[in-house]
Every structure is written in structure tokens, then in C-alpha cells.
Amino acid sequence: MSDGSAVHSSRDGDKGVKRTSPVTFLRQVVAELRKVVWPTQEQLVTYFIVVMFFVIVMMGIISLLDLGFGKLAYAVFSGSSA
């Protein structure tokens, strides 16, 4: 018994669906972009400051972890056992 009849290409089920022309697609994109609520300059500055603060804090945390693990690895593998 073959399962070949159960396998369909992606186009078999899309016979009633028409493709959108590039011009219609661009019109729809522009219409959707007009619905977007764009942030004000004050909001952008606030978001920028928050993101920069977060990135700087994360850089500090990662740097400290890297320094700590580096010193730990050096202590473990330094070979100075007396």
C-alpha cells in the first residue's frame, strides 16, 4: 500500500487563491505603515537611554564574569602546585 496519494504539493490546496501583484502588495504595505503609531522624539530618546543603560550594565556583568572565570581557570591550570 502506497502513501503517495496522501502527499500533496503546496500548490494543490491553493488553486482558489490568487497571487497578489507587486503593486498591490506595495499599496497594502503603505496602508499598513500608515496605521503604525510612531513614537515621538521624547519617547525615542527615553528608549535610547534605557537600552544604552541596559547594554552597559550587561557589558559590566559579562566582563566581571569573564575576568572571574579567567582568573579561576588560570589558578586551576597554572601548574604551580607545591
Q: Does residue 50 lie in a domain region?
A: yes
pLDDT level of residue 17 (50, 70, 90 thresholds): confident
Q: Give me the number of domains the chain comprises.
A: 1
Q: Does residue 29 lie in a domain region?
A: no
pTM confidence score: 0.55
pLDDT at 7 over 60: no
How far is it, in rounded angstroms, from Cα 61 to Cα 64? 5
Q: Tell me the torsion sign for CA atoms 34, 38, 41, 44.
A: negative
Residue 14 DSSP SS3: helix
As a whole number, mean pLDDT of residues 28-54 equals 96
- Is residue 47 within 8 A of residue 39, CB to CB? The reply is yes
Model pLDDT, residue 18? 85
As a whole number, mean pLDDT of residues 22-28 equals 95
Report the chain's mean pLDDT, rounded to a whole number: 86
Q: Does residue 79 lie in a domain region?
A: yes
Q: Does residue 52 lie in a domain region?
A: yes
Domain that holds residue 57: 38-82
pLDDT at 39 over 70: yes
